């Protein structure tokens, strides 16, 4: 089974989404390309008349993305002219297109004319994504090499849709280097008070993708609307999409989530086909407690899980270490995935561990030592080392020290590129920066069970933001969020707490005991 290629934006771990303008939000890239072609072809024609050189005209399909797209105007001019063996002064007294400055002014004038003649076309998938981000209260910022960014936004009716806009004029005023330098993107993040590693960047040019990668941004998504996906991937894009419709934002709030206990359709589905049930531990099978060592499953909950496991496959997927969660649940007949799936007890009983993550354990140990050194004087701080992660709990930390704790953890992660932060309920967890999460673990286990979620009901019950990866990985599944508080989620249903979870599991087991 292949993983759903859609990208999930987690509000809990995303400070902002940063958009490029041309080619991502608007279709003005076409107008830019036409304007460049008209002006550059005039330059080449004048050169041919004066020097007798026969030079290839500007190609909008090849020269535009290669030499000018996403770059400051004058740099793009110099790059294209160099490709034709031409070097012009920055300024010149003679008339015509005899300098970089004259070409830049002529191109800008022609672009404005085309803008007035044809208007601005906005990609509908961009406005839909902006709507979803606004509903989920995730800030959106815009960066652009274009000096016309504000004018284009106004013409498109999008002038008020962005918290921050850093265009070509701002970049020039601030002395910011253009792409592939990350300075413009970093300035956008700075003005939004957003940590780059907690930002998603949407960019359609190879130079912009390279800039985002060099700036240390958390997720760099290449937007391929013209067929240059490989160039975006080669420049460092984490993912490449053909449409922003491939990006999902959880916008469902508690009022939209039916109570799983009252949802007859769930029992109807599991009655028709024997389900597979995945369960988180902390906050789902066990109540959330002040100290992680005190988490325990009740006898009643253990009995409910055991009863269900007699009738269908049941797996516990936890951020805890594999041995830790197995011991706390105390049911050997279950499938277990610990450390967010980095270590798994497979359906046949075999244990597997993520090889790359194992190589990064020394980096986690170094991070633990540094955090202990810097935060050893903080009352109530709890460090929970796990086989493949380090959880830093601030639930008992005085309010005045919480920001210090979180800032230190973020600083340690920022200086350790092989690690990343996963936020949770009053916890920041340092993990190996590998492409694996609870969603991947669930997909792996379904493969091992030879289960296709399009035909077999798959139930996933969890309470934390880390469970959103699993909810998102199962678009045909039954996602149940255990929470008494409102937050955006990909889950389909809700339960109030562990006691409701126990009743829900008993209801499924009772249904499976009847005639199938």
What the chain holds in terms of domains, given with CATH numbers, is 7-27+120-248 (3.40.50.1000), 29-118 (1.10.150.240), 254-353+436-513 (3.40.50.1000), 357-432 (3.30.70.1020)
Rounded Cα–Cα distance for residues 413 and 388 (Å): 15
Helix axes 498-513, 299-309, angle to 10 degrees: 30
- How does DSSP assign 74-141, residue by residue? HHHHHHHHHHTT----S--SSSSS-SHHHHHHHHHHHHHHHHHHH---B-HHHHHHHHHHHHTT--EE
* pLDDT at residue 69, rounded to an integer: 78
* Cα 185 to Cα 20, 54, 209, distances in angstroms: 9, 40, 11
The model's pLDDT over 418-443, given as tens digits with 9 standing for 90+, comes to 888 876 667 888 888 887 889 999 99
* Residues in the chain with pLDDT values less than 70: 1-5, 70, 251-256, 423-425, 484, 486, 514-516
Give every CB contact of residue 139 below 8 A, 6+ residues apart in sequence: 15, 16, 17, 133, 163, 164, 192, 194
User: Would you give the distance in Å from CA 375 to the centre of its chain?
Assistant: 29
Rounded Cα–Cα distance for residues 54 and 182 (Å): 37
Residue with tokens 């700075």: 190
Is the entire prediction scored with pTM above 0.95? Answer: no
The pairing of beta strand 140-143 with beta strand 419-424: unpaired
User: Would you give the distance in Å from CA 101 to the centre of its chain?
Assistant: 40
Rounded Cα–Cα distance for residues 293 and 210 (Å): 44
User: Would you give the distance in Å from CA 233 to the centre of its chain?
Assistant: 16
* pLDDT at residue 5, rounded to an integer: 59
* pLDDT at residue 30, rounded to an integer: 77
Rounded Cα–Cα distance for residues 60 and 269 (Å): 54
- Give the H or E element holding residue 278: strand 276-279
* pLDDT at residue 227, rounded to an integer: 86
* pLDDT at residue 255, rounded to an integer: 57
Of residues 230, 223, 243, 240, the one with CA closest to residue 70? 223
Rounded Cα–Cα distance for residues 374 and 370 (Å): 6
Q: Is 59 a catalytic residue?
A: no
The answer to whether 458 touches 471, Cβ cutoff 8 Å, is no
* pLDDT at residue 168, rounded to an integer: 87
Candidates 224, 280, 324, 394; catalytic one: 280
Rounded Cα–Cα distance for residues 458 and 451 (Å): 9
Rounded Cα–Cα distance for residues 54 and 38 (Å): 17
């Amino acid at each position: 089974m292949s993983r759903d290629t859609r990208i999930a934006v987690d509000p809990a771990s995303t400070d902002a989404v940063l958009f490029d303008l041309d080619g991502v939000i608007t279709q003005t890239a076409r107008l830019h390309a036409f304007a460049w072609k008209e002006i550059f072809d005039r330059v080449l024609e004048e050169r041919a008349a004066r020097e007798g050189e026969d030079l290839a005209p500007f190609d909008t399909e090849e020269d535009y993305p290669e030499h000018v797209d996403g770059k400051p105007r004058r740099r793009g001019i110099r790059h294209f002219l160099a490709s034709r063996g031409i070097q012009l002064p920055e300024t010149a007294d003679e008339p015509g297109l005899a300098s970089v400055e004259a070409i830049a002014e002529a191109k800008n004038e022609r672009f404005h004319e085309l803008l007035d003649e044809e208007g601005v076309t906005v990609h509908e998938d961009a406005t839909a994504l902006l709507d979803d981000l606004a509903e989920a209260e995730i800030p959106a910022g815009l960066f652009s090499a274009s000096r016309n960014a504000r004018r284009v936004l106004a013409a498109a009716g999008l002038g008020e849709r962005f918290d921050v806009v850093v265009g070509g004029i701002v970049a020039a005023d601030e002395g910011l280097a253009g792409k592939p330098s990350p300075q413009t993107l970093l300035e956008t993040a700075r003005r939004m008070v957003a940590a780059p590693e907690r930002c998603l960047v949407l960019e359609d040019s190879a130079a912009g993708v390279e800039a985002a990668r060099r700036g240390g941004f958390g997720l760099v998504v290449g937007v391929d609307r013209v067929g240059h996906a490989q160039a975006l991937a080669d420049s460092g894009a984490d993912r490449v999409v053909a449409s922003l419709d491939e990006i999902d934002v959880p916008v469902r709030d508690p009022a939209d989530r039916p109570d799983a206990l009252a949802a007859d359709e769930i029992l109807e589905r599991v009655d028709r086909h024997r389900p597979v049930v995945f369960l988180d531990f902390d906050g789902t099978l066990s109540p959330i407690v002040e100290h992680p060592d005190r988490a325990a499953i009740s006898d009643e909950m253990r009995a409910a899980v055991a009863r269900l496991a007699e009738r269908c496959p049941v797996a516990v997927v936890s951020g805890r270490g594999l041995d830790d969660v197995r011991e706390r649940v105390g049911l050997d007949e279950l499938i277990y995935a610990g450390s967010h799936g980095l270590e798994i007890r497979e359906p046949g009983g075999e244990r597997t561990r993520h090889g790359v993550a194992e190589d990064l354990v020394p980096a986690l140990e170094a991070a633990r030592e540094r955090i202990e050194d810097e935060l050893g004087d903080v009352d109530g701080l709890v460090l929970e080392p796990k086989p493949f992660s380090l959880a830093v709990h601030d639930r008992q930390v005085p309010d005045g020290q919480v920001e210090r704790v979180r800032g230190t953890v973020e600083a340690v992660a920022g200086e350790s590129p092989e690690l990343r932060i996963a936020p949770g309920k009053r916890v920041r967890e340092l993990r190996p920066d590998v492409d694996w999460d609870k969603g991947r673990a669930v997909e792996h286990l379904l493969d091992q069970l030879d289960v296709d979620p399009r035909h077999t009901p798959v139930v996933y019950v969890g309470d934390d933001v880390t469970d959103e990866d699993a909810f998102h990985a199962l678009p045909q599944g039954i996602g149940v969020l255990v929470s008494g508080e409102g937050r955006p989620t990909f889950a389909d249903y809700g339960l109030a707490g562990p006691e409701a979870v126990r009743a829900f599991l008993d209801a499924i087991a009772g249904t499976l005991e009847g005639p199938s």
